A and B are shown apart, each in its own frame.
Chain A
Amino acid sequence: MNCGKCKTKAVISLPRHNAAFCKGCFTTFVHEQVARAIKSFKMFTPEDRILVAVSGGKDSLALWHILLTLGYRADALYVNLGIGGYSEESHRKVRHYADTVAAAHGAKLMVHVVEQEAGAGIRELATVLHRPTCSTCGTIKRYQFNRAAVEQDYDVMATGHNLDDEAARLLGNVLHWQDEYLDKQGPTLPASVEGFAKKVKPLCRLSEREIAAYAVVNRIDYIVEECPMAKGSKMILYKEVLNRLETESPGTKQRFYWGFLEKQDKPDVPKESMAEKDQRTLHPCQSCGQPTTADTCSYCKMMAKAKTATPR
């Protein structure tokens, strides 16, 4: 398989875009997708100071890397959750990237260690508070990232949420008709009140697989191992279901999520009801009198054809 642009050997094929790319052209493709998201969702400008929420995983490190490569002013915050070996390893990966790559761009890494402030890691805290670990974790991370962004005057906070994350979350919200959450699913959330940072998701046009491929191609050393608390999560189930659909019909995920964003974007035009539309478009069939949009209904056409056709 060859690159569709320069005809050298391809390293990845993207069925949803009907394309295949070599390393260089794939990197360009990823940068273009991010630049497009930043522009079309009015995320930030080159003057803005950006705070990237990093976890050591592929998405957030790739995001930091892309923003720095594109010339944006992006610092990062890492929250060490105190989940044994997983936290140690992810912390090491983030530190390594900050020292070997980000520092050369003049970008800095900040770290918040949960254990230092709360006296225990996230799992112990969750037990004491009788709350699920992931919701405890979510509250702490949201708080710390927002606080750092506001207190240190960053213009915007960026997270590594990708197309799969957003499509899976949308599926979950739709399955449970959680309308109130649908509002918050856009790739740009404004700073609605004082003390709330503006939040953006510049990777929303890229799939999880594309981002992992970008990290491999650009030699970004991220933690492949998952947070042990993610095991058996609903999000993973939704993603698996969506990936099966995607394999059968490429483009399903983006049509689902982008289609939702487009609908959300359109101001509510008064819609014609189904009955109104029927009254406008349907009239009796010339031949049988049943309602149809054509002169002769499709049943009558079919029967007429069947009668004239010569049997084999």
Chain B
Amino acid sequence: MLIQLSHPQRQVEIKGPKRTKDVLRELNLVIEAHLVIRGDELVTEDEMLADADQIEIRPVISGGV
């Protein structure tokens, strides 16, 4: 599956099917700091992601003062 990441904008390819939480772990990303979006819907950590899915992993932490 093709995964869209931000900060910086980039794409990675990961072999499916795989659970959301395992994809995050593989990319070394903390659940608490990210949302996983398939198409334009949110998915939970236990959801199976397939090769044909369009996935975005969106960071939710912002900086500033």
Using CB atoms and an 8 Å cutoff, list the residues of chain A in contact with chain B. Answer: 1, 10-13, 20, 23, 57-59, 134-135, 137-138, 164, 207-209, 211-213, 216-217, 219, 224-227, 229-231, 233, 235-236, 239-240, 243-244, 246-247
Q: Are A10 and B61 in contact, CB atoms less than 8 angstroms apart? A: no
Q: Is the CB of A231 within 8 A of B63?
A: yes
Residues from chain B with a CB closer than 8 A to the CB of A11 are 41-44
The residue on B at minimum CB distance from A237 is B63
Cβ-defined partner of A235 (8 Å) among B6, B59, B65: B65
Is B45 in the interface zone, CB < 8 Å from A? Answer: yes
Q: B37 touching A216 by the CB < 8 A rule? A: yes
A211 / chain B contacts, CB cutoff of 8 Å: 60
A209 and B63 within 8 A (CB):
no
A11 to B38, CA, bound (A): 11
User: Which chain B residues numbered 1 to 38 have a C-beta less than 8 Å away from chain A?
Assistant: 6-7, 30-35, 37
Q: Report Cα–Cα, A57/B59, bound state, in Å.
A: 12
**Chain B neighbourhood of A207, CB < 8 A:** 32
Q: Which residue of A lies closest to B8 (CB)?
A: A225
Distance between Cα atoms of A83 and B6 in the complex (Å):
19
Q: Contact between B42 and A216 (Cβ–Cβ < 8 Å)? A: yes
Q: Are A212 and B35 in contact (CB under 8 A)?
A: yes
Chain A residue at minimum C-beta to C-beta distance from B9: A225
Residues of chain A within 8 A of B43, CB atoms compared: 11
Q: Shortest beta-carbon distance, A132 to chain B, in Å? A: 10
**Contact among A20, A208, A225, A233 with B64 in the assembled complex (CB-CB below 8 Å):** A233
**Would you call B60 and A208 a contact (CB within 8 A)?**
yes
Number of A-B residue pairs at CB separation under 8 A: 85
Query: B residues within 8 A CB of A230?
Result: 62-64
- Residue pair A20, B35 in contact (C-beta under 8 Å): no
**In the assembled complex, which residues on chain A have CB atoms less than 8 Å from the CB atom of B59?**
224
Determine if A134 and B65 form an interchain contact, defined as CB atoms under 8 angstroms apart. Answer: yes
Pull 14 A–B residue pairs with CB atoms less than 8 Å apart, ordered by A: A13-B44, A137-B65, A208-B62, A211-B60, A216-B40, A219-B40, A224-B59, A227-B63, A230-B64, A240-B61, A243-B32, A243-B61, A246-B32, A247-B32
Smallest Cβ distance from A137 to chain B, in angstroms?
8
Which residues of chain B are within 8 angstroms of A227 by Cβ–Cβ distance? 63-64
Given A208-B62, A224-B58, A227-B64, check contact A247 B30 (CB 8 Å): yes
Q: Which residue of B lies closest to A16 (CB)?
A: B32
A216/B65 contact (C-beta < 8 A), A224-B6, A226-B7 known: no
CA–CA, A225 and B6, complex, Å:
7
CB distance from B48 to the nearest CB of A (A): 12
Q: Does B61 contact A239, Cβ atoms closer than 8 Å?
A: yes
* CB-defined contacts of A246 to chain B, threshold 8 Å: 32
Find out whether the CB atom of B65 lies under 8 angstroms from the CB atom of A138.
yes
Give, as a whole number of angstroms, the nearest-CB distance from B50 to chain A: 16
Which of B40, B42, B46, B65 has the most C-beta atoms of chain A within 10 angstroms of its own C-beta? B65
Residues of A within 8 A of B31 (CB): 247
Chain B residue nearest to A236 in the complex (CB): B63
Q: Which residue of B lies closest to A55 (CB)?
A: B64
> Considering only CB atoms, which chain B residue lies closest to A13 in the complex?
B44
Which A residue sits closest to B63, measured CB to CB? A230
Q: A244-B30, A246-B32, A247-B30 are in contact. Are A164 and B44 (CB under 8 A)?
A: no
The interface residues of chain A lying within 8 Å CB-to-CB of B30 are 240, 243-244, 247
